[in-house]
Amino acid sequence: MRKIGFIGLGVMGKPMALNLLKAGHELTVYDVVPERVNELVQAGARRGSSGKDVAARSEVVITMLPNSPHVRTAVLGADGVLEGAKPGTILVDMSSIAPSASKEIAAQAQAQGVAMLDAPVSGGEPKAIAGTLAIMVGGPQETFEQVKNILAAMGSSVTRVGEIGSGNVTKLANQIIVALNIAAMSEAMVLATKAGVDPEKVFQAIRGGLAGSTVLDAKMPLALQGNFKPGFRIELHIKDMANALDTAHELGVPAPLSSIVMEIMQALKTDGKAGNDHGGIIQFYEQLAKVQVRR
């Protein structure tokens, strides 16, 4: 059993924290929304009053927050993690943020004797609940070994991919592939439907071939139901794609397809669909083709 702090109890953070409790760890939690903390306290966690308080009570502090500015504030800001952390504390940021931000925060943490890993996840809310997330980790091998078992309580795949920042580079690569897969699925299925072919039969016909994918299997059944309840919201994928494009531009890497999908998601956001699941990308094509892909 380890003393773990968890900051950020949103759609992903709450089930991840619950899985740490189920694994028998002593958990102290904090979120800016008190109601989220209440649910974890009822499940057996201790209530933290701030990031500083959580860190002071913990050997390992996990952050799961929306974007780079939120992580900077939670870790580096007033009453933040670094104000309460002792030398030897390990910080594991599981948020999906810019790789450059991970490096910046890690450098300041290291100056205070706090080792940091960036460990973003993939799998959305269902896999967060099931504890079967894919976790991509950047940071020192020694630090990774110290927390690998903790991460295994939240994910079925825990892979160190390199030094600090590389976890978030891997997550950006993941998000590019997922977004383009959903767009490809959407384009293809709207074409099939407009041509008068049953999209469900098309799905069943192609899913076992080269066009099959985890993304197709996860998102097509929901599209056929018209179910765009968020597992991963379009507005969050926009955030990830913005980080991906910024990083690509910094490195001089062309990303034309990512730019196109970004504009599709921005159009859906403008249309009031920012809170839809990213599988709702199909609605962009449906609106233009004046057809719905449904059972």
Positions annotated as catalytic residues are 171
| CA–CA dist 11, 151 (Å, integer) | 18
CA distances from 280 to 121, 122, 127, 192, 240 (A): 21, 18, 19, 17, 16
